[in-house]
Structure formats: C-alpha cells, structure tokens
Amino acid sequence: MNRKEEIAMLEAKAKEMRRLIIEMISRAGSGHPGGSLSSTDLITALFFAVLRHDPKNPKWPDRDRFHMSKGHCCPLWYALLAESGYFSKDKLMTLRQFGSMLQGHPDSRTPGIESASGSLGQGLSVALGMSLAAKIDKKDYRVYVLMGDGEIQEGNIWEAAMAAAHYKCDNLCAILDYNGFQIDGATRDIMNLEPLVSKWQAFGWHTIEIDGHNMEEILKAYKKACKIKEKPSIIIAHTVKGKGVSFMENTVEFHGRAPTAEETRKALKELE
C-alpha cells in the first residue's frame, strides 16, 4: 500500500467508524456523539496505521498501549476495537444496555481495554504508569492517550504532565482533541485554555500542532512523536466537534445527546 492508498483506506475506515458511532448512540438512546466524531480521524489513524497490537492476543506484553482518558467518547473506542477484531461487530449495538460488555463509560470488562475511565483527568496518569512500567521492564512499547480539551481543566492532568516530563517519558504520546467545546459552551468562554501550546512546552513537552482531520498531517505527527527523545510528546489537534455530520458540527448540543430517529437517518445519509 502506498501513502495515497493508505490515506484513502484510513479515510474510508474513519467514515465507517462515524457511521457506527451514530448507529450505536442512536440505538442506545444516550451517549456522546460530538467528541467521538471529533477524535475519529486521529484515533482511526492510530489503530490502523500506527499501533502495534494483536487483537487475537489482547494481553500481548509487547503491545503498544492506547488509553482513552476522555471516556465518554468510548463509542469510538468500541467501534475501533470491533473493527480491529477484538470482538464481533454485532456487540456494538448493545452499547449502554444492561448486561452489555460495552458500558456507558469504558471499563476493563471490554477486550482490548486496559483501564477504566470516565472520571476526567486521570487518564494521563494511567498512561504515565504504563509508560514507567515499560521503562522498568526495558520494553519498547509506546503509550498513547487521548484527552479532551475540556478535560485538561482538571488539575490532575497538570500533575501528570509535570511528572511525565520529569521522568523523561519519551515513549508517551498524548493526543489532545481540541474541538473548542465542552458541555456548558465554548472552552474560551467556560474556562479558557490558551495559550495552550506554550503551556505544554513550559511543562517540558514536545508539541506538535496539526489539523486533526487531515490524515496526512495525523500520520506525520505520530511519526514525528516516535522520534522525540527524552521528553513526552503531545499532538494538539485542532478538530471540529461533531465532525462529519453537518448539524452536529461546532455545536455543544450533541456533546451528550443521542440523535433522534430522523436525525440518525440524516446523519447516516451524510456519511454514505
């Protein structure tokens, strides 16, 4: 597969993931489409072009780790795990149902999920723990963690940021889904995050700023992050909340509500 073909493959996968996200949340009747859709391109690329893993052997000791710190966007995680072959795709439609292995927020009952999340701000620390374990064991696996922009208002994130730089965790790559919205409104109005890039740099991180919907830029960013030594990297990805569904884009309305039957039909049509 050449670069062009790879990007076409990833774009097609991303579209498929978006369809699954809409279908799952619609079927469940609740969930968080906005942030799932904004991080779809970033994490689809990670799963199908970057991550070293074996869905048939989820506990392979040398696997790269992925952790979704913004656990409310788990429909994306579940869709990616099913598409990768960790479990069958028909399970996806049990999201949030009683007895389902796909909980409303992720936990370790789901094959391929390393750690629970949902209470925001803890995932970067969990990833840091995985990164330190690799260092102790002298293993070369990498650790990736997805964070939301509203999430980094949590103080725990900055404690972890300080520690990851202190321990020179160059096997750790954070991905920030900077879609600019949180439940109560735009991040700049609720609790301004700027200046964001210099903040992470000041904490000792290597920063890579990209368009989080451009596959070419996404792939380059992951590649670049692998080469950074002696410090952790963060990909600060500018994204569009609700990306891919016109009426969900750049609005907080679909942060945490399921589409109606009519909205689902419209959304899926746009994602054909």
Partner 1 sequence: MEQLYQRDVYGKTLVELGKADKDIVVLDADLSSSTRTGLFAKEFPERFFNFGVAEQNMMATAAGLAVSGKTVFLSTFAIFASGRAWDQVRNSVCYNNANVKIVATHAGISVGPDGASHQALEDLALMRAIPNIKIIVPCDGEQTAEAVKAAAQTKGPFYIRLGRPKVPTLMNKGIFELGKAQTLTQGDDITIIACGIMVSEALKAVEILLGKGVKARLINMHTLRPLDEEIILKAARETRGIVVCEEHAIAGGLASAVDEVVAENYPTRVMRIGIRNRFGQSGDPQDLLKEYNLASSDIEKSAVLCLKNCR
CB of 203 to partner 1, least distance (A): 13
Whichever of 33 and 232 has its CB closer to partner 1, that residue is 232
Compare residues 7 and 176 and give the one whose CB is closer to partner 1.
176
Q: For residues 162 and 191, which CB has a smaller minimum distance to partner 1 in the complex?
A: 162
Residues that bind partner 1 (CB under 8 A): 61, 65, 67, 107-108, 114-119, 121-123, 125-134, 136-137, 155-156, 159-160, 162-163, 166-167
Which residue number, 136 or 261, has a Cβ lying nearer to partner 1? Answer: 136
The half-sphere exposure of 22 on its side-chain side, counting CA atoms within 13 A, is 27
Contacts of 101 (CB under 8 A, 6+ apart): 87, 91, 94, 109, 110, 111
The token duo for 131 is 């990164």
- 199, 137, 138: which is closest to 174 by C-alpha? 199
CA angle, 175 then 152 then 75, to 5°: 55
Cβ 115 to partner 1 shortest distance, Å: 5
CB of 159 to partner 1, least distance (A): 4
Residue whose structure tokens are 């679909």 = 254
Cβ closest to partner 1, residue 100 vs residue 156:
156
- Among candidate residues 59, 67, 261, the one with its CA nearest the CA of residue 148: 67
Q: How far is the CB of 152 from partner 1 (least distance, A)?
A: 14
Task: Quickly list H helices, the chain.
Answer: 3-28, 33-38, 40-45, 74-84, 123-137, 155-166, 187-190, 196-202, 215-227, 261-270
- Our CB check for partner 1 shows the closer of 232 and 259 to be 232
What are the Cα distances from residue 51, in Å, to 256, 258, 262? Answer: 28, 30, 36
| Least separation in angstroms between CB 126 and partner 1 | 4
3-state helix vs strand vs coil in the chain, percent to 5: 50, 10, 40
Query: Nearest approach, Cβ of 44 to partner 1 (angstroms)?
Result: 24
- CB closer to partner 1 out of 163 and 268: 163
Residue 122 CB, nearest distance to partner 1 (Å)? 4
Type of residue found at 150: G
